[in-house]
Structure 1
Amino acid sequence: MNNWQAWASLAVFAAAYVLIITEWVHRVAAALGGAGAMLALRATDDEAAFFSTHSGIDWNVIFLLTGMMMIVGVLRRTGLFEYLAIWAVKRARAKPFRVMAMLMIITAVASALLDNVTTVLLVAPVTLLVCDRLKLKAAPFLIAEVFASNVGGMATLVGDPPNIIIASRAGLSFNDFLVHLAPLAVVLTVVLVAMCRLLFRRFFVYDEDRAAEVMSLNEREAIRDPRLLVQGLVVLALVIAGFVLHSVVHYAPSVVALLGAGLLVAISKVEIKDVLGEVEWPTLAFFAGLFIMVGALIETGVIGEVSRALADATGGAPLGSAMLLLWASAVLSAIVDNIPYVATMAPITADLVHTVGDTHGHVLWWALALGADLGGNATAIGASANVVVLGIAERNRQPISFWTFTRYGIPVTAVTIAISALYLWLRYYALA
């Protein structure tokens, strides 16, 4: 980094990160302030910030979130989430840990079929209602579901946005991810549930009276608008089909989500201002600011320098390259959102694959995917799903601080990455 703008952009990013961590100012103000400073310093410009697919705002993420938030907002009016909350509690016999385990498994499976952001948008409202019914603190449940969404999302090509980038660059198919990463996702989900039993044990307070009250409820009575529910579920099913059939229909997930939201607003009688009122605008603004800041680091060469240093450090040794890529990706994805990180790291990984050779080269792509997807669990801004859930929690007056999330995220990330390292070594080197 030989230019002053690179160092200035790094200083701005570090300052904004400190403000987000310490919560001296609101995280949205810190992100937008940092983005404004990057533009003022000309570390990036309007062309790069708003139109570049490499270093600008990822509008696919923004509009995917907008569309799904609108659909979820309509479904919330039907009473569906109350129905699911009561159903889940009754199936778990109102035992707090059983409820958490059930919600985590549902989240992990759904995140593999949809994507982790869409999944947490659907599951978080149910979780808040469950916790309200049982008089439980919602934060541990929401944090556990974020972990499960990132673990489940790594299992398939559509489960986590970084996987789509990797698949495009490496020429990998949906089945490739399923064969190579899904078995590990199952193992990590089981480990994660066991870890959450220990990490959150003091929050599993069983209130016999509240439990009895919920067990006596009839979940069907929670449905307030059956007609709107049918309309919403049909549209949601079409959107999910569009996500799963992405390789067939060739519509980006953001386009599918916006089409679904537009269709649901058109066929229902819900006022558009009420639907837009359900959108988490502060969360979207935070994402925009974060994308611009990270984009400035890309434009000024900061992230490229880090990536090249990582590539040089591997020395071309197959196992060493995979392990270093896995752990370094986990650390870096905890600091910057894993989408721009993977976009930057993909061409570097391609060079590494060429250096290592065909025999073990493909393992580097799995190392990158695992490090980026699981490293996102370490901090509150490491992955898109984390930011979305924090926004939902704040809107429902149950805020989760950066340090609260990170205190649990770091040990979860350390354990899951360690298991992933063992998996890569056993499957592709020791037992190959």
Structure 2
Amino acid sequence: MSLTAWLALLVFATAYVVIVSEKFNRTLVALLGAAAMVAIGSVRGHEIFFSEETGIDWNVIFLLFGMMVIVGVLRQTGVFEFLAIWAAQRARGRPFRMMVLLVLITAVASALLDNVTTVLLIAPVTLLLCDRLALDPVPFLLAEVMSSNIGGTATLIGDPPNIIIGSRAGLGFNDFLVHLAPIVVVLLAVFVGLCWLLWGRRLRYNAEHAEAVMRLEARETIHDRKLLVRVGIVLVVVLLGFVTHSITHLEPSLVALLGAGAAILVSGLPHHTYLEDVEWETLLFFAGLFIMVGSLVHQGVIGELAETLTDSIGDNYAPAALGLLGGSAVLSGIVDNIPYVATMAPLVHELVGPAAGLPPQQQSLWWSLALGADLGGNATAIGASANVVVTGIAKRNGHPISFWHFTKYGLVVTAVTIVLCVPYVALRYFVWA
């Protein structure tokens, strides 16, 4: 490798370690790392902004932005508060029943929206309900964030790592549904059982507080029914746009942007109302990360590593897929799964290329990466962005969740879900292929 390549690797490794340490703002570190790549001559302006292989992945940035705007408009209707109260009343104030319903609502919403946005909306309502029922909200918050990571695994837009993988591998919304949704349904069913074992047995029912919740009028939380109908129609059309990609050939990012524009148009809301839900720091973090990883690709670092791995793997894709599944789960628990996937996706691309047209054995590497990274994010409090969001909300509301308290439960959930994925990957892509 050239001196510039070694310097680029040093910059990336330093930035990665600082991001993992969480001593500094990760967005600032990513942008400083990107600036350092430019300063050492590892990447240039046109390669940052216009190169599909080594620049910012605008498909990811605009897909996230579009969905954030749509959810920002939808939030004004009060529909998420309605769903939470509806769940509590359907459970008749029974804590574990309420947990199960909230877990399922969170999982489905995470698949249709994204897990970070979903927990931002569900967590405050959960705190309110637990206060009304005199329950400790921590078990509910833990169950919800873990179900959001599981549910988000099912779709292209459900978890940010999937968006990166989809863009790099050329995979669409339907591809994720076909390949990952079946195992996610199984994992959710198992997770409900784990919820009982980990938290449900210790939850206590209080008839007096349950009766107070039953008296709440869920419909009163809907602030604007006409807006809910309008934005609901827009969201359905957007999801149809994702599903019909193979027919329309519209990129998911374009569908999301058009949907965001339509939601703004039908809502008539002032711009500050829906833009306040856009996580600008997250978008800038992605941009800086793409520039750093793209620099490694441009300098040939990723290509050399892929060549080394190709020589080692040969045609033995089964151990490679299972190793990637387990290894991704472990590493995504240690570091945030977003930078991990942003680093690994170009590597897998070098190993097997875009997913379209690949035989199942080779395509399994992409799905193993997605499963390992998404589910491995449940292992620790820093494994996924949704985890960081929920622990922050809990702390601000007087219910701090320590790193080790989260990890005590997260490791169990991750281990069980990854173990269940092993036979799924082996059977689907190697035995039945």
TM-score, normalisation: structure 2: 0.80
Structure 1's unaligned 5+ residue stretches are: none
Corresponding residue for residue 148 of structure 1? 150
Corresponding residue for residue 280 of structure 1? 279
Change (3 A) 1:249 1:391: farther
Contact 2:154–2:180, Cα closer than 8 Å, also in 1: no
Alignment of 1:17-416 (within 5 A): 17-109=16-108, 114=112, 117=114, 120-122=116-118, 124-135=120-131, 136-137=137-138, 139-153=141-155, 160-161=162-163, 164-165=166-167, 168=170, 174=174, 181-198=180-197, 210-328=209-327, 330=329, 336-338=339-341, 341-350=344-353, 361-379=359-377, 386-387=384-385, 390=388, 394=392, 397=396, 411-416=412-417
**Offset at 1:92?**
3.0
Distance in 2 (alpha carbons) for counterparts of 1:374 and 1:131? 30
Change (3 A) 1:353 1:235: closer
**Range with greater deviation from structure 2 (286-295 or 391-400):** 391-400
Change (3 A) 1:234 1:319: closer
Q: Show structure 1 runs of 4+ deviating over 6 A.
A: 351-354, 398-407
Q: Which amino acid aligns with 1:374?
A: G
Distance in 2 (alpha carbons) for counterparts of 1:301 and 1:146? 36
**Offset at 1:159?**
11
Contact 2:238–2:255, Cα closer than 8 Å, also in 1: yes
Query: Cα deviation per residue 1:227-246 (whole Å; 9 max; x = unaligned)?
Result: 22222222222222212222
Contact 2:321–2:368, Cα closer than 8 Å, also in 1: no
**Range with greater deviation from structure 2 (42-51 or 58-67):** 42-51
Alignment of 1:6-21 (within 5 A): 6-21=5-20
Q: Is 1:421 matched with 2:422?
A: yes
Structure 2's unaligned 5+ residue stretches are: 132-136
**Range with greater deviation from structure 2 (69-78 or 90-99):** 90-99
Query: Cα deviation per residue 1:62-107 (whole Å; 9 max; x = unaligned)?
Result: 2122222222222222222211111122223344443343333344
TM-score, normalisation: structure 1: 0.80
Distance in 2 (alpha carbons) for counterparts of 1:375 and 1:407? 19
Distance in 2 (alpha carbons) for counterparts of 1:44 and 1:168? 24
Q: Which amino acid aligns with 1:387?
A: S
**Offset at 1:411?**
4.9
Change (3 A) 1:430 1:148: closer
The alignment of Structure 1 onto Structure 2 pairs a total of residues equal to: 418
SS at match of 1:57: coil
Q: Which amino acid aligns with 1:366?
A: S
**Offset at 1:429?**
5.3
**Range with greater deviation from structure 2 (342-351 or 297-306):** 342-351
Change (3 A) 1:309 1:413: farther
| Sequence identity (%) | 41
SS at match of 1:376: helix
Query: Cα deviation per residue 1:387-428 (whole Å; 9 max; x = unaligned)?
Result: 367458758946988887767555544443333222333455
Change (3 A) 1:287 1:409: farther
Distance in 1 (alpha carbons) for counterparts of 2:371 and 2:328? 9
Change (3 A) 1:405 1:3: farther
**Offset at 1:33?**
2.1
Contact 2:378–2:411, Cα closer than 8 Å, also in 1: no
Distance in 1 (alpha carbons) for counterparts of 2:300 and 2:402? 31
Distance in 1 (alpha carbons) for counterparts of 2:292 and 2:100? 36
Distance in 2 (alpha carbons) for counterparts of 1:430 and 1:318? 12
Q: Which amino acid aligns with 2:22?
A: E
Distance in 1 (alpha carbons) for counterparts of 2:56 and 2:332? 17
Change (3 A) 1:411 1:339: farther
Distance in 2 (alpha carbons) for counterparts of 1:233 and 1:102? 21
Q: Which amino acid aligns with 1:348?
A: L
